[in-house]
Amino acid sequence: ASGVPAYRRVLLKLSGEALMGSDAYGINREVLMRVAAEIKTVVATGVQLAVVIGGGNIFRGIAPSAQGMDRASADYMGMLATVMNSLAMQDALEKLDVPVRVQSALRVDQVVEPYVRRRAIRHLEQGRVVIFAAGTGNPFFTTDTAATLRGMEIGADVVLKATKVDGVYDRDPVKHPDAKRFETISFDEVLEKRLGVMDAASIALCRDQKMHLRVFSIQKAGNLLRVCRGEDVGTLVK
């Protein structure tokens, strides 16, 4: 493939755990800077990039103290964790001179902008990375659903799910070394076989709105750029 990007606008979902590296929890500085540098290379090709970051890396660390808590309250803690990750990524991108704004689904006005769809689109058109924090702003949802939702709202060409696994497998590849990776798979098959790609709500949303989803490993350097050039990395769900 040439240097021409395959997409005009993409929504990248980064799980919190993707920022953890091999640490037990929290943000690994080296990993954070590497992912930020990859985002920079993609933005340099002219792709408009929006990011949704999860919170698992922080939330897992405090999960024991959240046990026995009301589910909604625990979920709000999880959403606040994504705000922290978003601030860390904003800082990392700014260190690399990448223009960036954070918009939150929960109001934390002294810290970041509130989520305003048309304003987010304007930032993207201006070449700024937009990080959507606090998931959907609702308990009982996930940042995967937030990624799909925001992807549709901003008219993204594709949702890119960056994880630790390099695609969708027929079985858990960690437990089954002979597990087979799909190059493409349909949303119906993912739901039918209960493959752990994203939660069912976000898969159904993608299917109904005909939003393509690519699952790939962010741990392999250069993958994000390859994906944005249209290369067959990981698994395409459509």
Q: Are 161 and 144 within 8 A, CB to CB?
A: yes
What residues does 159 pair with on adjacent strands? 11, 213
Shortest reach from residue 126's CB to ligand UDP, in Å? 26
- 3 state DSSP class of 155: coil
Element housing 181 (H / E): none
- Nearer to ligand UDP among residue 7 and residue 141 (C-beta): 141
- Nearer to ligand UDP among residue 45 and residue 138 (C-beta): 138
Selected range binding ligand UDP among 3-11, 40-48, 135-143, 154-162, rule: CB under 6 A: 135-143
| 11, 36, 135, 168: which one binds ligand UDP (CB under 6 A) | 135
Residue 182 found at the interface with ligand UDP (CB under 6 A): no
| 32, 39, 79, 156: which one binds ligand UDP (CB under 6 A) | 79
- CA gap 39, 43 in Å, rounded: 6
What residues does 213 pair with on adjacent strands? 159, 237
Q: Where are the beta strands (DSSP E) in 35-91?
A: 48-53
What percentage of the chain's residues is helix, strand, coil (to nearest 5)? 40, 20, 40
Q: Does 15 belong to an annotated binding site?
A: yes
DSSP letter for 154, please. Answer: T
Taking the alpha carbons of 176, 212, 19, 41 in that order, is the dihedral positive or negative?
positive
- CA gap 222, 146 in Å, rounded: 25
Residue 234 found at the interface with ligand UDP (CB under 6 A): no
Contact pattern for ligand UDP over residues 17 through 56, marking x by CB under 6 A: x------------------------------------xxx
Q: Are 227 and 234 within 8 A, CB to CB?
A: yes
Residue 59 found at the interface with ligand UDP (CB under 6 A): yes
Residue 142 found at the interface with ligand UDP (CB under 6 A): yes
Shortest reach from residue 5's CB to ligand UDP, in Å? 25
| 7, 12, 27, 75: which one binds ligand UDP (CB under 6 A) | 75
Residue 148 found at the interface with ligand UDP (CB under 6 A): no
User: Which residues lie below 8 Å from residue 180, measured CB to CB, with a gap of 6+?
Assistant: 169, 170, 171
- Which residues participate in the annotated binding site for ATP? 13-16, 56, 60, 163, 169, 172
Q: Provide the binding-site residues for ligand UDP, judged by CB under 6 A.
A: 15-17, 54-56, 59, 75, 78-79, 81-82, 135-136, 138-139, 141-144, 146
- Which residues participate in the annotated binding site for UMP? 55, 75, 136-143
